[in-house]
Structure 1
Amino acid sequence: MELRQLEYFLMVCEVNSFTRAAERLYVSQPAVTSAIKSLEDELGIQLFDRTLKQAVLTSEGQVFYKHIQHVMHGVSQTLSEIDNLKNLNTGTIVLGITPLAGIAPLPQQLAAFAEIYSDKTDRRG
């Protein structure tokens, strides 16, 4: 199971059409159809009723949809948190101070750090 397949599945659910999903995803309609078919084969279930003009979820598809929404939301949150860490928007600073160095320069160094990252530091305390 690939994230791409899940994204395609959710888009088809959103627009009730393989063709419109492909247009919104900027891919070909056969690519969407193939991805969904591959997903169905892997799961061993049919996700959409293809006898209608619209893409309508089967009972199994409805259960899958409910859970995949949560999964994809979690993936989105995870990627956002990782991006925040990479861009130094969040994170943890770990300080190690030896007894020989003392803590005298620490306030100045923390103040300098806060100045450099003033737009990104958390000022709760």
Structure 2
Amino acid sequence: MELRQLYYFVKVAKKEHVTQAAEELHVAQSAVSRQIHQLEEELGVKLFLQKGRNLQLTPVGQLLYKRVEAVLKDLERTVQEIHEFHDPECGEIRLGFPHSLGIHLMPEVVSGFRKKHPNVKFRLKQGNYASIVKDVVSGETDLAFISPFPEGHEQVTGDILLTEELSAILPPNHPLAGEESIKLEQLKNEMFVLFSNGYSLRPIVLDACEKAGFEPKISFESEETDTIRGLVAAGMGVSLLPDMALFQTKQLQPARVRIRDPKVLRQIGLIRRADHKLSPVATVFYNFLIQYFDTYNHKQS
């Protein structure tokens, strides 16, 4: 079994088409077909079945694909780490984060780090809570910001970076829009605009409403912070968002009001694989973030 065969196999499995795989690999279609055929002969199994114009993995092909893809990712990462040991300043950091941190936090920390380490590259990936944890566990990302912090998770470890408040956001003409602070129960008759299932801010809001004695009526659900802010600003409901997601980027903005009872908080953490040592460049970035948020929290207190 040759490494080239495994590369070709994974590419065909992803594209579900020999011609498309060959084009992406910049080799002849016959070369790809030959390598796949030789791999099947060596293993004594059929890896693909024809399905119309496309190819479909057989059950044993799916098993091989899952294992081989993980091996190739580890190999690719190992080669990268070897280069980084030679020069950590030219490495790449694969960083995951939730949508609510993409407006202000991500650009600020990446920009701050790049000022000190201008040659380091970033590969950024947004996602919901489950996908962020999954990407760290699988090695798809090196580090990830996450909220809430996954306490007790056996496969990831990390640090809590900060705790921030959630504020109520209201249409600009809402009767409570001019208040300095409100009790959450004052919004019990309002329609809410919330994140969709799978996003960590949703259960935080639902739990806060339960503590305030009501179940929110949901008018809209979204996967994007900007969409939620825009819908609220347009009068389609109210919501709760963390301060970090409320930096103004557009003219149409909702009113922001503090919630004094109950206090609604979220923790933001930084996670990595528990059984995996970070690369030199990722370690430098990790230490930068710990120091960055230590300074940030002192300023806020």
Matches of 2:29 and 2:18 in 1, distance apart? 6
Matches of 2:24 and 2:59 in 1, distance apart? 25
Q: Hey, what does 2:28 align to over in structure 1?
A: 28
Higher helix proportion? 1
Higher strand proportion? 2
Q: Hey, what does 2:105 align to over in structure 1?
A: none
**Which is worse superposed, 76-85 or 17-26?**
76-85
TM-score normalised by length of structure 1: 0.68
**Percent identical residues:** 37
Matches of 2:73 and 2:35 in 1, distance apart? 20
Q: Hey, what does 2:39 align to over in structure 1?
A: 39
Matches of 2:26 and 2:87 in 1, distance apart? 32
How far is the alpha carbon of 1:4 from its aligned partner? 1.1
Q: Hey, what does 1:12 align to over in structure 2?
A: 12
RMSD: 2.5
Matches of 1:52 and 1:3 in 2, distance apart? 29
Q: Hey, what does 1:80 align to over in structure 2?
A: 80
Matched length = 97
Q: 1:48-93: per-residue Cα shift (whole Å, max 9, x none)?
A: 01364211101110111111111111111111111112x3328xxx
Q: Hey, what does 1:89 align to over in structure 2?
A: 88
Letter of the aligned partner of 2:77 in structure 1? Q
Letter of the aligned partner of 2:19 in structure 1? T
> Which SS does the other structure have where 1:45 is aligned?
coil
Q: Hey, what does 2:70 align to over in structure 1?
A: 70
> Which SS does the other structure have where 2:88 is aligned?
coil
Matches of 2:83 and 2:33 in 1, distance apart? 31
Letter of the aligned partner of 2:88 in structure 1? N
Q: Hey, what does 2:60 align to over in structure 1?
A: 60
- Relative contact order (C-alpha < 8 Å, sep 6+): which is higher? 2
Q: 1:10-65: per-residue Cα shift (whole Å, max 9, x none)?
A: 11111110011001100000000001111111111110013642111011101111
> Which SS does the other structure have where 2:54 is aligned?
coil
Unaligned runs of 5+ in 1: 91-117
